[in-house]
Structures are given as C-alpha cells and as structure tokens.
Structure 1
Amino acid sequence: MTGGWAAHLVAAPVLLPLAAAAVMLLLGERRRTARAAIAVVATVLGLALAIGLLARVDGTGDAAAFKVYLPGNWPVPFGIVLVVDRLSALMLVLAGLVGLASLLYSLARWDRAGVQFHPLLQLQLMGLNGAFLTGDLFNLFVFFEVLLAASYGLLLHGGGGARVRAGLHYIAINLFASLLFLIGVALLYGVTGTLNMADMAQKLAQVPDTDRGLLHAGAAILAVAFPAKAAIWPLNFWLPAAYAAASTPVAALFAILTKVGVYAILRLWTLCFPATAGASALFGNDALVWGGVLTLGMGAVGMMASQHLGRLAAFSILASSGTVIAAIGFDHQALTAGGLFYMASSTLAACALFLLVELMDRARQSEVDAPSAVPVQRHLPRFIDGEPPQDVNLDDEEVALIGRAIPRSLAFLGLAFMACTPVVAGLPPLSGFVGKLAMLSALLAMPPDPLAPPRAPLALFAMLLVSGLLAAIALTRAGIRHFWSPSDRQPPRVRIFESLPIALLLGACVAMVAAGEPALRYMNATAAALHDPGRYIAAVSAARPLPPPAKVVQGGPR
C-alpha cells in the first residue's frame, strides 16, 4: 500500500455515507431541508469518488489495476482489506447512479412520508459500497447485514399493510440466508484457516483430500445463501411482492440490491474455483448455468403474466440476475464481459422503470378521478368550411388528430418508457441490445468444453432470444394500456425532481451505447482479470503496512 492522501480514497466510499448518516441523525428530524442537502452532497461526492476510482484502475494498465488498502495497517491476511479493481469500481459507479437517482426522486415528496429516510439511504449506500470493496469474507457478511438492516427500514417506509406483509417475507428469507452465510463461512474458515478471500483462494490447492468434502459443503452452503440474496430460482419468490410493495424511490434503489448477491458469486467463484483449481475446478458451474437459465425464463414469463407495471419491473430484475448468473457459470471471458455490460445497462433501466411506475399510474389515476361532467378542453385546428380534408386522420369521436398538442408531462413519460423498453428487452438501438449481442456472439463462438453443462449454450442462446421477445411484448402491452388507449385525461403533474433522475439513468444507458467500444473494452478487461485470479491474489498478497512514524525526540528523529 502506497502512502499519500490519494491512497485513502479507497475507504472514502464507505466512510462518506457513514459520516453523512451520523450528521443527519445528530441534526434531528425537524431539519428536513438540511438533511436533504447533506444527503445530496454526500451522494454526489460518492458518485464522483466512484467514477474517479474507476478511471484510476482503468487508466493505470493491467499491472496496476488493483488498489489495495489496509484500514487497520495490519499485514495480509490478519487485518481488514479493501480492494478496488475494475469489477468493484464498476459496481460502485452503478450503486452511486442508482442511489443518486432514488434520492433525487424522493425529494419530490417521498422523503417526507416517514422518518429517517435519508440516514437509512446513506447507510444502504455504505453497506453496498463496503460489500463491493471488501476483500474479507467476514466483512462481506458485516456489510451485507448493514445494507440489509437499512433495507428493512426502507422497505417499510411509507407504511401500509402490503409493505408490512412483504417486509416480513423479505426479512425472513434474508435472515435465513444470513444464517447460511455464517455457516458456510465457518466451514471455509475451518478448512483453510483464513477469511481473507485472496489468501483463501491461495490455500485451496493445499486442502487435503480428506477435507475436500468440507470445503465443497461450505461452498455449497454459500451457493444457497448468495443466490437467495441474488433472487435466483427457486429462492426468488420473495422479490416480486417486496419490490412491488416498496415505495417508488426504495424500489428503484433495490434494483442494485440483488446485484450484491450476483457480485459475491462472481467474485468468490472465479477466485476460488477457476479452471485451474484441480479437484475443485468449476465447482457448481452446472447449478449456476441452469439456475440462471431457469431464473431468466421465470422472469420473462412473470413479465408476461404481470398486469401491474410494478410487478413487471420486479420480474425484469429476476431476468437480469438470471442472465448474469448463467453467463458466469460458463467460465468464458467473452460471455462474462457481455454479461457485465448487460448487467450494468439492465440495472439502470430497471431503476428508471421503477421510477416511471408511479408517474404512469398517476397519469391513469388522473383519468379515473376526472369528473365526467367537466369535459377536457381541446384546442382543435380550424379548417375551411369547418370540415377537415379527406386525408386527415380522425380519432374515435371523428375529431381531427392533426394539430393537437401532446402535454409535456405525457410526452416525457411516453418517451422515457419507449427508451426503457428496448433496454430491458435487449432490443436495438440501446445498451441492452449491445450486451445481449455480445453474449449471443460469445455463445456462437464458444468451443466445445467437456467441463461445461451439456446443451447449456444452446439453452441460454434460445432463452436470451425468447426472453427478449416476451419482455418486449409485455412492455409494449403495458405502454398501449397506459398511453395508447383513447381517453380525455388530464395530464399528470411531473415535478423536476421526478423527471431529472429518470433522464439521468436513461442518459447513462445512451452513453453506454455512444461509448460502446471503450465500454466493451472495459468489460473485457474486467472479465480477463476475473478469469485470471492470480492477479488479484498477487495484488492483495503484495500489500504491505505503512511503517510507523518516526519518534521525535530532542535532537531530531530517532
């Protein structure tokens, strides 16, 4: 670990939201404006830090694409280790974007629906950032519990029976998964004698055959805990109800929550069970591939069956997680790179879709609540002799469509939904298509592998196409129901804090297409580092504590 103030920036994504939450709690509940201002400043700074760390690990070349920080200044593997590489930096940026969008949206009204919204959101970001940065299994558990504890309060934000019921299920399944997490960590610690992930991966080759069963048992228990948090089939029954019941900004923030489980699987599986791990090579890859394919299929069918846009958005989260998990299980660099690109774009699009749910429901509600006795004023075009020409389109009431203005709020909602649809479904020309195309190309070019599950490439290839078609149908049907049906509706009121975060997220998706080549190059470099775990192990093992400061005595330092 090198010295200088820049070295301490690795810990800043954890410390900044923690400090912001502490200050807001000290201010009390009545100073809402000050707390909101602190939350915005802290979240914007956190996103800027994440982008700076991403640029730092990507701009230094492969040899120095790992930044290792020892918070307690203890040597590896005895102390806490924070590691920034391309994968963790990518996840930090995603968490920052989703967190900022959710926060801005909440400022319109949701942050006043209950107490402690802003401190809980900052603690949620702290847990997310810590989980992405930690290089220690036990501290991964600690940060998991921090973000889950904050999510319990956020899920119940706003009150209501539906949120309480969904929250009880959500808490129960996550407590069960946390118990399994602890048991799995205890077994791995008993076999390897370490909790540092890099040190554990290094010692797995030295595990005697008599203890190999315990090693695999610990890994299998973690393979139940992490998929439960990542909402992989059949452990995902809790997600649609919980996400659909949550308040709008909380549901949008939860779009990144399942990706923590996906990240943990990706990190630990590629680190501990690569193709070079001997008797433990690619342990559990069949479960990852087929579990991911089934989750993708369930998510696509759930989207088709959903009548409420909130549940449709929740099932799109399942489809996204299943796609990435299935891609991971093949242990193929190009496929992993495409999966990472798709994960980034689908997470941003799902967050935007959750934010659109309330606004689109508000537009329909304005139609329901409008008094039938008060007709909506129309600004109709004037024609010669009062009759429109024969070639002018008419609506169902034989009123000319030409010249009729679309309200700005409805136009914004329609265009935003039209942008979300191709990203979620993986259709051109936006970023979801780029990610799916990269995965499909990798599957077609994949050579036969005896370690890969039989017929799995064909199954994933077909499921990617079918799920995209089903998602497009479901989203198009929802768009027709909300925007196409003829009605005299009052345009909904959309505040700037509600439209700005949606534009921010969709702008990020557009930017991923505009910068498609460097973005794919970044994902390929990330996948290459993941599938060569020796680089991560070497970087962490080479970290050294800083020497203690020299003692100053009379006559100079001693």
Structure 2
Amino acid sequence: MIAFEHLLVLPVLLPLGTAALMLLGDRRKGFKAAMNVVSAALGLVVAVLLLQGVAERGPGAFGIYLPGNWSVPFGIVLVADRLSALMVVLTGAVGLASALYALARWQQAGVYFHALFQLQLMGLYGAFLTADLFNLFVFFEVLLAASYGLLLHGGGAPRVRAGLHYIAINLVASLLFLVGVAVLYGVTGTLNMADIAQKLPLVPESDRGLLHAGAAILAIAFLAKAAVWPLNAWLPPAYAAASAPVAALFAILTKVGVYAVLRLWTLCFPAGAGASAGFGGEVLIWGGILTLAFGAVGMLASQQLARLAAFSVIASSGTLVATIGFDAPTLSGGALFYLGSSTLAGCALFLLVELLERARQVEVGPAEIDDGNGALPSFLDAETPVHANLDDDQQVLVGRAIPAALAFLGVTFTVCALVTAGLPPLSGFVAKLAMLTALLDLRTAAAWALFALLIISGLFAAVSLMRVGMRHFWAADRPSPRLRVIETAPIAGLLAGSVAMAVHAGPVLDYMRASGEALHSPELYINAVMSAQPRSGPEGSGQ
C-alpha cells in the first residue's frame, strides 16, 4: 500500500509519464485514446484517495511531500490540505468526463490531442498541490501551453481568432505573474508560500510599499486568469469556440486563478499580518460583485448556448472572488460548496452544447409529407416548403412518444439549469442558501450588495436557460439527434455528482466549512509546511 504522503506526487507524475509514452510509443490513435482514459481514471482514483486521507486526518491535517528531499524552504514542496484535495478531485472528475466524451469524434481532429490533454491535467494537478510560487508559475505555464494547443484543436477561423486573443492575454498575464514573483522574492528572500506568510509581518516599513506592489501585480495576473471584470473579454469567445471536451476541461481552468487568490490571500494577508492585514480585500469584493453582474447580464444577452455557458463560468468566478474578500470562514465554506457544484454543472453544460445543437434539419415540400393516409397535416401550408421533424420513413413526428435521446437531453439540461441558476432542490440551491445565510450575519453594505446580486443573477440565469430550453425542446421542427453512449455517460456522471452533493449536503457542507475554517487559520498551513523534514539515511540525502 502506497503511503499517504507518496500519493501527492502521483497526480503530477501520472499524466507526465502518460504524455511521454504517447509521444514516444505507438502512434495509433486508439492506443493513445485508451491510455488517455485509463490515466484520467487513475488520476481520479488517486485524487479521491487524497481527499479521503485528508478528511480522515481531521480539519487541520496536511499531507507534505518533498520531491527533492531538501529542507524547507529551499526545495520543492507539495502540500495536500482540504482545499487542494477538493480541487484535485474536481480536476480528476472533469478530466475523466472530457476524455471519455472526446472518444466519440474529437480525438480524430488532431495528432497530439491526447498528449496535450494529459499535459493540461498535469499542470492543473501541480498548480493545486504546489506550495511554492515559482513552481506555481511553472505549472501555470504547462497548463497554459497545453491549453493553447487544445483550444486550436480542430482548426477553423473562429478558433484561430479566439485562440490568438486568448494566447495574447494569457502571455501578458504570465509576464505579470513573473514580475510579481520577482518583486516578492526581492522583498522577502523566499518563494515558499508558507515562508512568505511567516516573513510578511517582519518586512520593514520602508519595503511595505514594494511588497504591496508585488502582491498587486501578482493579483492582476491571477484575476486575469480567473476572468474577473474588466480582464475577462477573452473568455466568452475562447470558450465558445473551443471543441466540446476542451471547453468542458476549461471549466476548471478558470478556477485555478480563483484558487491562487484564495490560497495566497488567506495565507499572506490574514488579520494577524500587521500593516498588511486584509490588503486588497475591498478590491476582491467589489471586483467579484461587478464580475458576477457582468456574467449575469452576459447570460441574459446570449443568443448562443455556448456563450451562455461561458458567461456562467464568469458569473461563478465573480461569486467566488467576492466571497474571498470578506474573510469570513462560514461564507468561505458555502463558497467552496458552490465551487464544486458550479464546476461540475459547467463542465456538463459545455458537453451538452454540442449535443443540443446537433439536429437533423430536412427541408421538404408539402407534397412529400403526409399523415399516412395521403392527406396533409392541418398545420402545414400547402404552397410553401417547410422544415419538419421527420422520422426515417418521412413521417411527421407529431403526437408520438419522446425519443430516448431527446428525453435524455431534456432531463440533463433541466438539471444543469437548476444547478446553474441555484434553484431547489439541487446542489446549486444548497450552495447559494449557505452563502446567503452567511452574508446575513455580516451586515455590511458589500454583503447586502452581494446578497441581492446572488438572487438577481439566479433569476437572470433561470430566464436565460429557460429561453434556451424553449428554443431547443419546444420548437416543432427540432428533430431528435443521434447520441452515443460515450457522449452521454460523462454528462450523466457529472450531474450524478452534483445530485449526490445535494443528497449528502450535510456531510459535504461540513467538509467545506471545515476547509474554510482551516483556510482562515493560516498558522496551521505555515506550521505544517515549515516543520516538514527531509528523509535521512539510504532513502534520502538529508540536505
């Protein structure tokens, strides 16, 4: 049995090794596809084991792994706590669902799809587990480099146009990331997150302005990646243009920026950080509120389902960023529940986009349509061609049983809509109820603003998704698409996870609240990381 600490490195090594084997081994797409799915499934299993191990050890438990066996803070450190374990599980679930869906046809559109997919997973896992700013930058670049290729996968002018915009924005954000890291290193002399947090109160007043400037530059980079307004113009066209499995995987990509802000802000600027306590909190609150408003209005204005799904990602990012700035453990617990719920629903919605748009439109003249007895149906105009919903025998599908494919799409779209809009009885409602309850206890102007906007944004989302549902399921000329099991199973699995969160809302919410409490007690993280010791003897160098 592998020791718990050794599990931490597997989510990084597994996709890295898989990608290397794909590039060096058999070139057959079927072989690569099988490796991609198996690796993604194993990654999810490892992630669940990590989550289970952290949960069983208690709220303040941490898994620490020193890959280079160097003393902290000089070497690479991987850390698994409740938050990072949650993010790793979400990454594994989204990765497996997207990999399965891609088997239907998208893997055929490019040679290196599966290798890029695995490198994307490696970057995501590493970003959530690393405890070092420079390695966070490295994993950011790995996942972004892979995302550039995945976004352009399949070709076409819309993808190229959106992809170039996406690449340009993220390159600028990466440059700001590197500048911010350099400034913080110049002030604190370290890049280990726990060590930075430990040294911040000791920074002399003469260097405090430089410290805040470095933190602000770093925050701009993270907020751009988190699609916070006004740094989010790149997201709707990019996510709408991406292929379905890539867009679904990108549902977790935006959360990396949110995670980085949450991790570093609660760690470095808590109430005990002296003159830097709460630095930037108001910016996070109002920036998140404006982003939520922008996403809600964007959903209401969207005429295409793909863009609506993209704006729902922006709205979820805004909600999460706004909750960070309040520095309230109870609110953070509800926000983490919302993070899990919105990620699963967003991934499923992106996969549904392609299936909902897939339809068989047949233009025929009225002479070619009859009711089986040689007479035209009463609703047809006898002089003009029509678009009709026909079966294989050219019979109009009126008054017949709903086909299984259409029933599946209707049910799954309804579940996605309920979760996204935060309507009862599913996980989106539980998450919003937990956040609204916590906001009532804060009693500040910003809290009331977010309280009202959470309700209004839910209404906007419900109206938008209802309009899309009417267009896709109530139209008389909308035929039933042909679906494959490999396309429907991932969607069903993701939504089953969302339903399970609602069914087991009590234990899940307890876990999220314990995660929020641990986040707002940064001394737990600092002590755990700084007390980690390298192995000595034949298994370690003991530096």
- Give TM-score scaled by structure 2 length: 0.93
Paired residue type of 2:456: V
With over 3 angstroms needed to count, the CA separation of the structure-2 counterparts of 1:540 and 1:420, relative to structure 1, is: same
With over 3 angstroms needed to count, the CA separation of the structure-2 counterparts of 1:473 and 1:379, relative to structure 1, is: farther
Aligned length: 521
Contact 1:421 1:475 in 2 (8 A): yes
Give the distance between the partners of 2:21 and 2:62, measured in 1 at CA. 32
* 2:206 paired with 1:210: yes
Give the distance between the partners of 1:412 and 1:198, measured in 2 at CA. 48
In the alignment, which residue of structure 2 is the partner of 1:334?
A: 330
In the alignment, which residue of structure 2 is the partner of 1:27?
A: 25
User: Could you tell which deviates more after superposition, 4-13 or 223-232?
Assistant: 4-13
- Cα deviation, 1:37-84, whole Å, max 9, x if unaligned, reads 111111000000000000000011234x10000000000000000000
Paired residue type of 2:440: L
Give the distance between the partners of 1:377 and 1:140, measured in 2 at CA. 65
Paired residue type of 2:471: R
* 2:502 paired with 1:513: yes
Give the distance between the partners of 1:314 and 1:519, measured in 2 at CA. 27
* 2:311 paired with 1:322: no
In the alignment, which residue of structure 2 is the partner of 1:383?
A: none
From 139, 151, 162, give the equivalent of 1:143.
139
**1:425 Cα deviation (Å)?**
0.6
Contact 1:27 1:35 in 2 (8 A): no
Give the distance between the partners of 2:106 and 2:371, measured in 1 at CA. 33
In the alignment, which residue of structure 1 is the partner of 2:265?
A: 269
Helix, strand or coil at the partner of 1:506:
helix
Give the distance between the partners of 1:217 and 1:402, measured in 2 at CA. 65
With over 3 angstroms needed to count, the CA separation of the structure-2 counterparts of 1:103 and 1:550, relative to structure 1, is: closer
* 2:484 paired with 1:476: no
Give the distance between the partners of 1:359 and 1:283, measured in 2 at CA. 45
In the alignment, which residue of structure 2 is the partner of 1:459?
A: 449
Instruction: Output aligned runs, 1:24-103, within 5 Å.
Output: 24-29=22-27, 31-63=28-60, 65-103=61-99
From 290, 299, 303, give the equivalent of 1:303.
299
**1:445 Cα deviation (Å)?**
1.7
Contact 1:379 1:404 in 2 (8 A): no
Paired residue type of 1:18: L
With over 3 angstroms needed to count, the CA separation of the structure-2 counterparts of 1:13 and 1:376, relative to structure 1, is: farther
In the alignment, which residue of structure 2 is the partner of 1:387?
A: none
Give the distance between the partners of 1:274 and 1:521, measured in 2 at CA. 23
Give the distance between the partners of 1:371 and 1:494, measured in 2 at CA. 24
**1:376 Cα deviation (Å)?**
7.2
Give the distance between the partners of 2:207 and 2:368, measured in 1 at CA. 78
Give the distance between the partners of 1:295 and 1:146, measured in 2 at CA. 27
Contact 2:297 2:460 in 1 (8 A): yes
Instruction: Output aligned runs, 1:361-510, within 5 Å.
Output: 361-363=357-359, 366=360, 368-369=361-362, 371-372=364-365, 404-446=400-442, 455-487=445-477, 489-510=478-499
With over 3 angstroms needed to count, the CA separation of the structure-2 counterparts of 1:409 and 1:542, relative to structure 1, is: same
Tell me which stretches of 4 or more aligned residues in structure 1 moved more than 3 Å: 3-6, 369-380, 399-403
Give the distance between the partners of 1:500 and 1:379, measured in 2 at CA. 36
Helix, strand or coil at the partner of 1:257:
helix
Give the distance between the partners of 1:483 and 1:377, measured in 2 at CA. 23
User: Could you tell which deviates more after superposition, 3-12 or 170-179?
Assistant: 3-12
In the alignment, which residue of structure 2 is the partner of 1:343?
A: 339
Contact 2:59 2:82 in 1 (8 A): no
* 2:283 paired with 1:287: yes
Structure 1, unpaired ranges of 5+: 381-395, 449-453, 552-558
In the alignment, which residue of structure 2 is the partner of 1:9?
A: 7
Contact 1:304 1:471 in 2 (8 A): yes
In the alignment, which residue of structure 2 is the partner of 1:386?
A: none
**1:326 Cα deviation (Å)?**
0.4
Contact 1:252 1:355 in 2 (8 A): yes
**1:9 Cα deviation (Å)?**
1.1
Contact 1:370 1:490 in 2 (8 A): no
- Cα deviation, 1:341-362, whole Å, max 9, x if unaligned, reads 1111011101111111111100
**1:371 Cα deviation (Å)?**
3.9
In the alignment, which residue of structure 1 is the partner of 2:103?
A: 107
**1:370 Cα deviation (Å)?**
5.0
In the alignment, which residue of structure 2 is the partner of 1:235?
A: 231
With over 3 angstroms needed to count, the CA separation of the structure-2 counterparts of 1:4 and 1:417, relative to structure 1, is: closer
Contact 2:59 2:515 in 1 (8 A): no
Helix, strand or coil at the partner of 2:303:
coil
From 187, 193, 196, give the equivalent of 2:189.
193
**1:550 Cα deviation (Å)?**
8.2
Contact 1:338 1:435 in 2 (8 A): yes
Give the distance between the partners of 2:155 and 2:530, measured in 1 at CA. 48
Paired residue type of 1:404: R
Contact 1:443 1:461 in 2 (8 A): yes
With over 3 angstroms needed to count, the CA separation of the structure-2 counterparts of 1:292 and 1:374, relative to structure 1, is: farther
Give the distance between the partners of 1:537 and 1:277, measured in 2 at CA. 13
* 2:215 paired with 1:226: no
Helix, strand or coil at the partner of 2:93:
helix
Contact 1:157 1:247 in 2 (8 A): yes
Contact 1:17 1:126 in 2 (8 A): yes
Give the distance between the partners of 1:49 and 1:129, measured in 2 at CA. 11
- Cα deviation, 1:255-276, whole Å, max 9, x if unaligned, reads 0000000000000000000111
Give the distance between the partners of 2:59 and 2:417, measured in 1 at CA. 36
Paired residue type of 1:183: V
**1:490 Cα deviation (Å)?**
3.6
User: Could you tell which deviates more after superposition, 335-344 or 70-79?
Assistant: 335-344
Structure 2, unpaired ranges of 5+: 374-387, 390-394
